[in-house]
Amino acid sequence: MTRVAYLGPRGTYSEAAALRFAPGAERVPSATVAAAVSAVERGEADVAVCAIENSIEGGVNETIDQLLRPDFPLKIAGEVVLPIRHALVGAAGVDLAAPTLVYSHPQALAQCRRRLAELVPAARPVAALSTAAAIEASVSEPGSLGIGNAFAAELYGARVYADDVGDEPGNETRFVAVAHADHEPTGDDKTSLAFTTQHDRPGSLVEVLLHFSRRGINMTHIESRPTRRQLGTYVFLVDVHGHRDDATLADAVNEVSRVTSWLRVLGSYPRWPGTPDGEPTARA
């Protein structure tokens, strides 16, 4: 049976994504994203499902930092897009004017910043390791609330005080599945890349992007992260249509490798139906 590691405990959005990615798999909860990835590296799990991008807050640094580790041995082997519906929850009998703390994962807190100011203006946001852990804390700690999903609220005996408290409608998170090998070609694939440009040469990023556009390769995502080595230098993360084994994409990657300072193919994998390419996302 396939073993899927995810950010636990039970009831997190990561568990829901793991269930969508591999419905019949054994699910292995982990304390952090790094621990979930480490479980795969040590052979204690076959794949780790980790959040990488949210439609409101953008990239999830915990996962991106793992992918960019110099010694990272794994590949992206799949993706899942999950609708996100945050709820404000806590123990029974809470007066919403009274709570002084609201727990949740930093991403969830950021996605609900405006609504929290309206619903519980006196409550201070406090980071938790996961949304499920936040709900556990809210139930056990008087004067606090948590943000998570309704399933987790039921699981931990919490009451839902407000449903769908995200700042924007249509909130979604993309998760990637990392394993020791990526996926074979399916005919409808994506490939994720990371690279650094020659930052002191004008047009270096444009030169990289032109190698894809001239070959008609569609780019679906681009973002940057500091290299952590020198101010003003960045790692660019790019998703493109196609598999690394496709002749056209392989040729583009080969040319890009000649004009970048560093390049890593993070993996090729089946494109999730309706991922942000202009099509509606498939929903459960």
Residue where one domain finishes, among candidates 121, 147, 179: 179
The two three-digit tokens of residue 188, written as one number: 């409808």
Angle 58-253-198 (CA atoms, 0-180°, nearest 5)? 70
- Check 21, 63, 131, 175 and give the catalytic one: 175
Q: pTM here? A: 0.87
Q: Domain of 203: which CATH number? A: 3.30.70.260
Alpha-carbon distance of 50 to 60, in angstroms, equals 9
- Check 173, 191, 260, 275 and give the catalytic one: 173
Residue where one domain finishes, among candidates 124, 150, 179: 179
Residues 239, 140 share a domain: no
Strand ranges inside 31-182, DSSP E: 47-54, 58-59, 75-83, 87-90, 101-104, 124-127, 144-148, 159-163, 172-179
Residues 252, 131 share a domain: no
Residues 132, 109 share a domain: yes
Residue 131 in any domain: the answer is: yes
Residues 175, 216 share a domain: no
Give yes or no: 173 in active site. yes
- Domain count within the chain: 3
Give yes or no: 233 in active site. no
Alpha-carbon distance of 266 to 66, in angstroms, equals 11
- What pLDDT band is residue 135 in, cutting at 50, 70 and 90? very high
List the domain range (segments joined by +) for residue 103: 87-163
Residue 19 in any domain: the answer is: yes
Residue 276 in any domain: the answer is: no
pLDDT digit string (tens) for 67-79? 999 999 999 999 9
With a cut of 50, say whether residue 278 has pLDDT above it.
no
Residues 105, 237 share a domain: no
Contact (CB, 8 A) for 103 and 140: no
* List of residues 6+ apart from 246 with CB closer than 8 A: 185, 189
Neighbours of 225 (CB within 10 A): 16
* Whole-number percent of the chain with pLDDT over 70: 96
Pairing state of beta strands 159-163 and 189-196? unpaired
Q: Domain of 44: which CATH number? A: 3.40.190.10
